[in-house]
């Protein structure tokens, strides 16, 4: 598959100022020669051009001009894929980009699969697997914090630490295996305790990495928050305040919101999907009852809830029931309408954080954002670990590595045969290696790269 030359539109489909068609592979320059007529005095065809230069001319098919374009020549190995790469920048109409792509496909390139450019960058050793995943994270980033984390991973911050961990484990493995070859010699007690200490240190480091998984997940996927409460408490008003624009209909009629409304907001760098729901009550027509059913479903799926109360009304038995019912959920109690005379009294002993707001003026919204960040972003991560937010694939690999390392430790401590020790340790080393792609399968690569867009 790596012998052929791939091509794709690298910019989003749609109308824009410019579009970029990207080519990569051994034939990239030859395909470009057949597709492009350089213009102007002293111009050269792509295959004769120096590396990392840009050329003006026309994309031509069957003697007809397709578009005016700039063509960039980048020769291997100083390219994203480490292959010869040509990028054609043409006009940004949907049709123009499509016709330039068709031209290079007609001239010997093959349409790239999603993520195939990045896959080649990985297979050709330019980046490792964790860095390849960071490319996708970077594209999908919805907040600056997420972008920064993706950039750190792309720069190799996670990979460096994983490689160091793996190297140390390999050293231990080499030691153990050396002794298997010389069964007459026992491992000296000093050496043994050193090996144990090093493995314990490895497990502690895995634990530290694993603690970043939850935050890594939040940055990549966002976190879902359900806004719930009884009708008219001000749930939709709160959604609008958190988003900073009027998204949901607000009215004095209880039962205004019927369908759930989901929208993402940037809360202190975290992408939070807020879901406004129908007010919880048993009465109402068929539509509202369905709305309430959906509210409960949303609530189940949400990672945390904002439970909204009307500060000007006493608690109803319904409110009390909901307070008890959602006690197991991560939640923030929001006391809305604090501009009105206070009549709300919470029962004592509630453990959840409480924030006062007024959704008419926006008072209290900033403190509420702080409370949200505090609720979902654990303070457990050490400052240095902010550069290495692992994803769920890394988490899975680390969990397996950790379990196998613990077995190794047990075997070492209990003086089991060194073959057994080596077996478990080998499993652990391989699992750690999966993170950066030292050990992979085609299926795994297919899975990872299929999540990319075409042209990346």
Q: Which residues bind ligand GTP (CB under 6 A)?
A: 229, 231-237, 250-252, 254-257, 278-279, 336-337, 339-340, 358-360
The minimum distance between CB 329 and Mg ion, in angstroms, equals: 20
Alpha helices in 229-364 (DSSP H): 235-243, 286-301, 317-325
Residues 6 or more apart whose Cβ sits within 8 Å of residue 415: none
Nearer to Mg ion, 161 or 235 (CB): 235
Nearer to Mg ion, 235 or 337 (CB): 235
Backbone angles phi, psi at 286, to 5 degrees: -55, -45
The minimum distance between CB 235 and Mg ion, in angstroms, equals: 5
Nearer to ligand GTP, 143 or 232 (CB): 232
**How far is the C-alpha of 293 from the C-alpha of 304, rounded, in Å?**
18
The minimum distance between CB 272 and ligand GTP, in angstroms, equals: 18
Question: Does residue 226 sit in helix, strand or coil?
Answer: strand
Nearer to ligand GTP, 11 or 336 (CB): 336
**Of these partners, ligand GTP, Mg ion, none, which one is at the site of residue 153 (CB under 5 to 8 Å by kind)?**
none
The minimum distance between CB 335 and Mg ion, in angstroms, equals: 17
> What is the DSSP-derived secondary structure letter of residue 384?
G
**Of these partners, Mg ion, ligand GTP, none, which one is at the site of residue 123 (CB under 5 to 8 Å by kind)?**
none
The minimum distance between CB 252 and ligand GTP, in angstroms, equals: 4
Nearer to Mg ion, 285 or 380 (CB): 285
**Of these partners, Mg ion, ligand GTP, none, which one is at the site of residue 232 (CB under 5 to 8 Å by kind)?**
ligand GTP
The minimum distance between CB 306 and Mg ion, in angstroms, equals: 13
**How far is the C-alpha of 444 from the C-alpha of 346, rounded, in Å?**
52
The minimum distance between CB 290 and Mg ion, in angstroms, equals: 15
**How far is the C-alpha of 435 from the C-alpha of 384, rounded, in Å?**
19
Nearer to ligand GTP, 103 or 295 (CB): 295
Alpha helices in 41-156 (DSSP H): 94-106, 116-123, 129-140, 144-154
The minimum distance between CB 288 and ligand GTP, in angstroms, equals: 9
- The closest alpha carbon to 247, from 238, 414, 255, belongs to 238
For tokens 């303070």, the residue is 379
- The closest alpha carbon to 332, from 380, 360, 364, belongs to 364
H or E element at residue 50 = none
> What is the DSSP-derived secondary structure letter of residue 316?
P
**Of these partners, ligand GTP, Mg ion, none, which one is at the site of residue 360 (CB under 5 to 8 Å by kind)?**
ligand GTP
**Of these partners, ligand GTP, Mg ion, none, which one is at the site of residue 100 (CB under 5 to 8 Å by kind)?**
none
Q: How many residues belong to the chain? A: 456
**How far is the C-alpha of 396 from the C-alpha of 337, rounded, in Å?**
45
The minimum distance between CB 336 and ligand GTP, in angstroms, equals: 5
The minimum distance between CB 242 and ligand GTP, in angstroms, equals: 12
Nearer to ligand GTP, 361 or 392 (CB): 361
> What is the DSSP-derived secondary structure letter of residue 363?
B
**How far is the C-alpha of 260 from the C-alpha of 278, rounded, in Å?**
7
Nearer to Mg ion, 163 or 236 (CB): 236
Phi-psi region of 101 (alpha: psi -120 to 50; beta: other; left: phi over 0): alpha
Nearer to Mg ion, 79 or 257 (CB): 257
In terms of C-beta density within 10 A (0-12 exposed, 13-18 middle, 19 or more buried), how is residue 275 classed?
Answer: buried
**Of these partners, ligand GTP, Mg ion, none, which one is at the site of residue 395 (CB under 5 to 8 Å by kind)?**
none
For tokens 């080519």, the residue is 23
The half-sphere exposure of 455 on its side-chain side, counting CA atoms within 13 A, is 16
H or E element at residue 308 = strand 304-310
Query: Interface with Mg ion by CB under 5 A: which residues?
Result: 235-236, 256-257
- On the question of a cis peptide bond just before residue 77, with omega within 30 degrees of 0, the verdict is yes
Nearer to ligand GTP, 256 or 438 (CB): 256
């Amino acid at each position: 598959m790596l012998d052929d030359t791939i091509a794709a539109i690298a910019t989003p489909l749609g109308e824009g100022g410019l579009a970029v068609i990207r080519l990569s592979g051994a034939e990239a320059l030859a395909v470009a020669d057949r597709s492009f007529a350089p213009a102007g005095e002293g111009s050269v065809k792509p295959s004769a051009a120096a590396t990392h230069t840009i050329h003006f001319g026309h994309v031509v098919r069957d003697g007809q001009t397709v578009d005016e374009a700039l063509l960039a020549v980048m020769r291997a190995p100083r390219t994203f894929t480490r292959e010869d790469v040509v990028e054609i920048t043409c006009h940004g109409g949907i049709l123009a980009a499509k016709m330039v792509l068709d031209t290079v496909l007609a001239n010997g390139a093959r349409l790239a699969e999603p993520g195939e450019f990045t896959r080649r960058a990985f297979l050709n050793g330019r980046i490792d697997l964790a860095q390849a995943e960071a490319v996708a994270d970077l594209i999908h980033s919805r907040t600056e914090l997420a972008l920064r984390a993706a950039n750190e991973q792309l720069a190799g911050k996670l990979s460096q630490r994983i490689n160091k961990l793996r190297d140390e484990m390999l050293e231990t493995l080499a030691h153990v295996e050396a002794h298997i070859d010389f069964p007459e010699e026992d491992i000296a007690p000093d050496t043994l305790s050193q090996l144990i200490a090093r493995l314990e240190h490895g497990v502690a480091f895995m634990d530290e990495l694993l603690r970043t998984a939850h935050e890594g997940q939040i940055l990549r996927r966002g976190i879902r928050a359900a806004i719930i409460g009884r009708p008219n408490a001000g749930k939709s008003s709160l959604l609008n305040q958190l988003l900073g624009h009027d998204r949901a209909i607000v009215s004095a009629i209880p039962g205004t919101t019927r369908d759930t409304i989901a929208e993402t907001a940037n809360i202190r760098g975290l992408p939070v999907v807020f879901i406004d729901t129908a007010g919880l009550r048993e009465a109402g027509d068929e539509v509202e009852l369905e709305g309430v059913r959906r509210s409960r479903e949303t609530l189940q799926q949400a990672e945390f809830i904002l439970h909204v109360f009307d500060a000007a009304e006493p608690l109803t038995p319904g409110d009390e029931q909901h307070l008890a019912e959602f006690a197991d959920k991560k939640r923030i109690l929001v006391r809305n309408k604090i501009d009105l005379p206070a009549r709300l009294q919470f029962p004592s002993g509630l453990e959840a954080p409480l924030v006062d707001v007024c959704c008419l003026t926006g008072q209290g919204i900033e403190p509420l954002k702080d409370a949200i960040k505090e609720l979902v972003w654990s303070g457990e991560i050490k400052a240095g670990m902010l550069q290495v937010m692992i994803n769920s694939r890394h988490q899975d690999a680390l969990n397996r590595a950790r379990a196998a390392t613990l077995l190794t430790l047990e075997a070492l401590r209990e003086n089991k045969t060194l073959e057994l020790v080596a077996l478990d340790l080998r499993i652990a080393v391989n699992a750690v290696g999966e993170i950066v792609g030292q050990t992979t399968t085609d299926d795994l690569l297919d899975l990872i790269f299929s999540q990319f867009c075409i042209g990346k």
